[in-house]
Amino acid sequence: MSLKKLLATSTGSRSVPAKGTEFDGVTDYLSRSSDLTGNVDSKTFTFSAWVYNSLNTNTNNRIYSIGTTEPFFIQHGASANDLEIKAKNSAGTVILTTTTALDIITKDTFVHLLISIDLVNIANRAVYINDRLVSATWNTYTNDLIDFTQLNHDIANGTGGVPWKGRLSNLYLDYTYRELSIEANRRLFITADGKPADSAPLIALNPILYLPMNDASTAHINLGTGGNFVQNGTLDTASRGANQDNCVASYFDGVADYLSRTSLTGIADGKVFTFSCNIDTTLSALGTIFQIGESTTARFNVQLIYSAGLALLVQAYNASGTKILDFSTAYGSIITNRNYQITFSIDLANSSNRALKFNNILQSPTWTTYTNDIIDFATGTPKITIGATVATTPASYYIGNIGELYFNTVYTDLSTSNPFWEE
């Protein structure tokens, strides 16, 4: 039995050519050894880029950096995948330091960064990730000019950091502040469908930097006013671009939205199963992703639970109603308004055959119950639900997106690969 891609899905990588440039994290980067044409110091700026981080360690992975004394940089930081911004004035005094909440830059998938800052006014500053406002800590915020006028300008590298390992596209910088709470301002950079916006309106803004980086051969070409860069190393065209669909999902409103069936053709009780889905939630409470059961009892349960943070809970029962599987992640392991690809596969006959991955990264859940017994997938379980419980009156509604949901009563070895994750 397979319940595969029950919701509308599309990877897009087979039908739409990828746009983006791949950097190896060693010798690949773009640079200028002279100042940008027409460059000026400024108290205001807007920065946008699509980033795909593949460096699976917490380190100062530079996206854009200028100068040899770090007067300005934007990077994937050393503190658990946060975003960090730092700026100095011409005297070398730090006038801006900003860090976001942790795990903002999800690894191995494209993330859109949009930042606009006005150092004159502390009310005029915002960081948006994937078109959502995110929490940021503004440690230093001084009304002064950022020393943008430097001889060295690097993309995917920089003094004090390490070269970027992953992909980049549509890097933009100008010295204008924009109120990003106004949707029209965000649509200059990211469409309502979460894709890079058209180039023409961005070019018309006459930014100092706009490098589409659609492919490796033209990655160094700046369509802004500041002049082109030089390619260092051997860049590759990205195998997947920010312009492609990663997952088309369905939104559940948390009030009355859910999917249900009264049977699954070919399903049988067993000790093994594989489950996978993509989620993006706004929950701050208990919410059901997937259940199999009857009006009084869930026999198989995938839920998000909450206690000062979200966690994943998975449970299974035998035909007598005895719990034989129970595992969960730590509270706070799932953060609202983030995309997660969740995959787990279980073989109750062998405790070595079990794995849980978030965004293809192996997790270490707490295995509370793990009994060599048969899960009641079919016997006396006439209901299957997505987005709510199987109860006669459904409850614990899920709020947010669910996509590419897969369930099958087979074991999948996730130790070496993940067939549900596309690099």
Domain ranges, ordered by start, for the chain = 2-9+247-408, 21-237
The whole-number pLDDT of residue 7 equals 36
The whole-number pLDDT of residue 58 equals 63
Report the SS3 class of residue 312: strand
* Among 373, 346, 338, residue whose Cα is nearest residue 275: 346
- Using CB atoms within 10 Å of the CB of residue 60, give its burial: 0 to 12 exposed, 13 to 18 middle, 19+ buried: middle
- Using CB atoms within 10 Å of the CB of residue 258, give its burial: 0 to 12 exposed, 13 to 18 middle, 19+ buried: buried
Q: Does an H or E element contain 199, and which?
A: helix 199-204
Report the SS3 class of residue 314: strand
Q: Does an H or E element contain 168, and which?
A: strand 165-174
Structure tokens, 1: 């039995």
d(CA 120, CA 118): 5
| Backbone φ and ψ of 73, nearest 5° | -155, 155
Enumerate residues 6+ apart whose C-beta is below 8 A from 106: 53, 81, 338, 339, 359
Report the SS3 class of residue 369: strand
d(CA 83, CA 136): 9
DSSP character at residue 13: T
d(CA 423, CA 91): 44
* Among 35, 75, 43, residue whose Cα is nearest residue 59: 75
| Backbone φ and ψ of 190, nearest 5° | -140, 130
Q: Which amino acid, one-letter code, is at 83?
A: L
Enumerate residues 6+ apart whose C-beta is below 8 A from 302: 275, 288, 289, 290, 291, 312, 313, 314
| Backbone φ and ψ of 224, nearest 5° | -85, -165
Question: How do 236-237 and 21-24 pair as beta strands?
Answer: antiparallel
Assessment of whether the complete model's pTM goes beyond 0.85: no
DSSP character at residue 201: H
Q: Which amino acid, one-letter code, is at 16?
A: V
The whole-number pLDDT of residue 137 equals 93
The whole-number pLDDT of residue 124 equals 98
Give the residues across from 22 on adjacent strands.
167, 236
- Using CB atoms within 10 Å of the CB of residue 101, give its burial: 0 to 12 exposed, 13 to 18 middle, 19+ buried: middle
Written as one string, the DSSP assignment of 76-124 is E-TTTS-EEEEEE-TTS-EEEEEEE-TT-S-BTSEEEEEEEEETT-TTS
CA atoms within 13 A on the CB side of 249: 24
Report the SS3 class of residue 219: coil
Expressed in percent and rounded to 5, the helix, strand and coil fractions of the chain are 5, 40, 55
Same CATH topology for 2-9+247-408 and 21-237? yes
Long-range contacts of 197-200 (CB under 8 A, 24+ apart): 199/223
Q: Does an H or E element contain 278, and which?
A: strand 272-281
CB 160 within 8 A of CB 28: no
Structure tokens, 232: 């260092």
- Residue range 2-9+247-408 in CATH 2.60.120.200: yes
CB 272 within 8 A of CB 344: no
Report the SS3 class of residue 217: helix
CA atoms 294, 295, 298, 303: torsion sign: positive
Domain 21-237 in this protein, CATH class: mainly beta
The whole-number pLDDT of residue 202 equals 97
CB 152 within 8 A of CB 31: yes
Per-residue pLDDT of the chain (423 residues; tens, 9 = 90+): 334 333 333 333 335 788 999 999 999 999 999 999 999 999 999 999 999 988 766 678 899 999 999 999 999 876 667 899 999 999 999 999 999 877 678 777 889 999 999 999 999 999 999 998 988 999 999 999 999 999 999 999 988 888 999 999 999 999 999 999 999 999 999 998 889 999 999 999 999 999 999 999 999 999 999 999 999 999 999 988 998 865 667 889 999 999 999 888 888 999 999 999 999 898 999 999 999 998 778 999 999 999 989 999 999 999 999 999 999 999 999 988 788 899 999 999 999 999 999 988 899 999 999 999 999 998 877 899 999 999 989 999 999 999 989 999 999 999 888 898 865
The whole-number pLDDT of residue 339 equals 81
